[in-house]
Structure 1
Amino acid sequence: MSGENMTFVKDFFIVGFPGLHPKYYALVSAIMFLVYLFTLIGNGCFLLLFATNKTLHKPMYFIYISLVLSDVLFSTCTLPKIIARYWFHDGTISFAACFFQMYLVHYFGTVNSYTLALMALDRYIAICYPFRYHTIMSNRNIVVLSLVVWVFAHGCNIMMVARALPLPYCGINTIIHCYCDHVSIIRLACTEGSLYIFPALVYAMVVLLGSLAIILVSYSCIILAVLKISNTHGWLKTFSTCSSQLIIIALFFLPRCFYFMAAYIGIIFNADLQVAIIMLYSLLPPMINPLIYCLKTEEVKKILIRKL
């Protein structure tokens, strides 16, 4: 295509589920609205409990707060636009806004991954080094580590945007997804996309598998420590301490690993199923996590019962 005839993209159109019949638009938007509403309510309640109860001002709960903020911000930067797409037939997003959303999507995903690794380290030190726990994992140290996670997560995500932004985008401007992400945008560029997609995929795998490796090593050490405990009561107490974190970690990592492994071994999903899987593992954990904090953590459960 000659330079004179090339029309550059000024905005993008978020398609969502490409095979969804228009008669289901209202239903899908209502479901997504409820997911967003429950996410805000659940995480908001936990924030309120944390703010009003000094007994919760402990290292483990500071890590939960970091995860709560990341979950709420991720849902806020993704769900309102796709809800508007189906509810008000408004799927258009400006060029700059799309790239900003792409950055936020990958940034909050990175923050979540690092925070879950920090959570596993917290449990490892609590169980394997109980007498040094309050010295190593003090409130101050946890807050500093959480801030480091939020700052460190910026680096490669800024680089991804900086590499993708100058590319020429012309012709097709439809994003087959519920939000702007790196792969969906790069595929629309009028250039060879593999040069830009592959480094981003490598970075995503490093973040995902690097955090997962820290988690697996931490819990392997925890299991070895638990096996040395001779009584059943000690086993149950340790398992109860770790159960909520294990569920949260499983909700985040297992679907992602399944999705990446399926692509690696050649399992191909159609476009609608692919988008559905990504939306499930992206948006269900932020909604479910507050229930786990509250129902699987004895201290929070007692506070809730007392208030109710």
Structure 2
Amino acid sequence: MFDTNVTKIRDFLIVGFPGLSPEYYGPVSALLFVLFLAIAAGNIFILVFVKCERSLHKPTYLIFCHLALTDLAFGTVTLPKIISKYWFDDSFISFYGCFVQMFFVHFLGAAHSFILMVMALDRFIAICIPLRYPVLITNNTISVLCGFAWFIPLPLMVVVLLHALTLSFCKSNVIAQCYCDTISIRSQACGEDVFTIAVITLCIAMFTLLIPLAFILFSYISIIVVIIKMSNAASRKKTLSTFTPQILITCLFYFPRCFVYVTSVVGFSFSLDVRILLMLLYSVFPAAVNPGIYCFKTQDIKQMLMKRLRKTKIAIEIKLSYKCQTDGLGRMYTITQQNYPIPDKFVT
């Protein structure tokens, strides 16, 4: 039956945090802007540093670059709009702009999940079957696997997007979220197709999240068993140090999502503001934290950073040492030396 209440929506209204008082708009927008700068600066630094440092052109760091690219893209897609909402009171996003944002939010999340699975495979082979690692895992192999990680979600998210575009909207244009996603858009739709699209979206979400998570859990359990069985304490410590960054990155991505899902299943409910905050944290916060994990928890990157810093310090000291004048007897006088001024007859 045709619904006469269906209206043509030209744009959507991004609510953000519904319970936030206007007096906090400035601090919140400033905090989100700092978070965006951290995401942009940190992930661009990782991409440039690994690109310029030839000694880091290895499979593990190639995976880090793909993760950094997804984090950078996700922050760029989601944060500018919510920042402008609180900073410039610009709450509206165009109809198709909202759907484009929805597509990239889910596509980048799914791609990140599959890249984490590639990272787990890399560590699984490196620790469990190390003799086969140089043969099985190469830069070309990782490039192909990461290419599949980017490609597999693409047709799935196109299906979600095309189905969502067929919805009829009869409620309102309000998006009770900091960015457009399928749940917030679908909540404003009506008709028999809403339930069908909800089921399709759920199945795709479970495929893109649970299949990688299942393999990650299997590989990490296998790795932990191998580490425990090591008799040499030094080898155990070294192996664990190469494995720790991956655990932290994976936990930051999956644990908050699983927490929100489990709490909703058991019937524990959050207020709308708390739920939106949790979703913003587990989707954006890891993108800002991951570069720090790469730099400070990965030995090779940390050592190269320290080496570069030492070289920079030495170069500055050498440059400062040349800022001097030489008199006729060969004595060196620094320009900033106040106690022993240079005689006028030696100044040219």
Q: Could you state the TM-score of these two structures normalised by the residue count of structure 2? A: 0.86
Cα-to-partner distance string for 1:116-160 (whole Å, 9 max, x where unaligned): 111011000001111111111100110111111111111211111
Is 1:221 the counterpart of 2:222? The answer is: yes
Distance in 2 (alpha carbons) for counterparts of 1:140 and 1:64: 15
Q: Is the 8 A contact 1:43 1:72 kept in 2?
A: yes
Aligned to 2:318: none
CA shift in 2, pair 1:5/1:243, >3 Å: closer
User: 2:150 maps to which residue?
Assistant: 150
Partner of 1:56: 56
User: In structure 2, what residue type is equivalent to 1:306?
Assistant: K
Would the aligned equivalents of 2:6 and 2:169 in 1 still touch at CA under 8 Å?
no
- Map of 1:145-294 to 2, 5 A cutoff? 145-192=145-192, 193-294=194-295
Q: Distance in 2 between matches of 1:283 and 1:6?
A: 34
Give 1:47 deviation, angstroms: 1.3
Residue 134 and residue 175 in structure 1: after superposition, are their counterparts in 2 closer, same or farther (change >3 A)? same
8 Å Cα contact 1:9-1:170 kept in structure 2: no
The answer for the alignment partner of 1:29 in structure 2 is 29
Please give the alpha-carbon distance, in whole angstroms, between the structure 2 residues aligned to 1:140 and 1:3.
54
List runs of 5+ in structure 2 lacking aligned partners. 310-348
Structure 1 residues 228 and 185: CA distance shift in structure 2, 3 A: same
* Residue identity in the other structure for 2:259: F
- Aligned counterparts, 1:74-113, within 5 A: 74-113=74-113
Amino acid of the residue matched to residue 84 of structure 2? Answer: A
AA paired with 1:112? Answer: H
When the two structures are superposed, what TM-score results if normalisation uses the length of structure 1? 0.97
In structure 2, how many angstroms separate the alpha carbons of the residues matched to 1:7 and 1:165?
Answer: 14
Cα-to-partner distance string for 1:51-94 (whole Å, 9 max, x where unaligned): 11000000000100000000000110000000011100101111
Shifted more, 233-242 versus 5-14: the winner is 5-14
CA distance in 1: counterparts of 2:148 and 2:205, whole angstroms: 19
Matched residue count = 308
Q: State the AA in 2 paired with 1:294.
A: C
Shift of the 264–49 alpha-carbon distance from structure 1 to 2, 3 Å rule, reads same
Match of 2:116 in 1: 116
When residues 5 and 130 of structure 1 are mapped into structure 2, their CA distance, relative to the original with a 3 A threshold, is closer
Q: d(CA) in 2 for partners of 1:179 and 1:6?
A: 23
Do 1:82 and 1:179's aligned partners in 2 also have CA atoms closer than 8 Å? Answer: yes
Query: What amino acid is the match of 2:206?
Result: M
User: What is the CA deviation profile of residues 187-233 of structure 1, one whole-angstrom value per residue up to 9, with x for unaligned ones?
Assistant: 11122433322321232123222111100110111122223311211
RMSD between aligned residues: 1.4
Q: Which amino acid aligns with 1:280?
A: L
Partner residue in 2 for 1:12? 12
Name the structure, 1 or 2, with higher relative contact order (CA <8 Å, separation 6+): 1
Once the two structures are superposed, residues 283-307 of structure 1 have per-residue CA deviations (whole angstroms, 9 ceiling, x without a partner) of 1100000000000011111111122
Q: Distance in 1 between matches of 2:44 and 2:165?
A: 35
Aligned match of 2:338: none
Q: More displaced, 95-104 or 226-235?
A: 226-235
- The verdict on how the C-alpha distance between 1:4 and 1:232 changes in structure 2, with shifts beyond 3 A counting, is closer
Unaligned residue ranges in structure 1 (runs of 5+): none
AA matched with 1:13: L
Q: Which stretch of the first structure deviates more once superposed, 83-92 or 216-225? A: 216-225
Q: Which amino acid aligns with 1:219?
A: Y
* CA drift at 1:3: 6.2
CA distance in 2, matches of 1:19, 1:184: 17
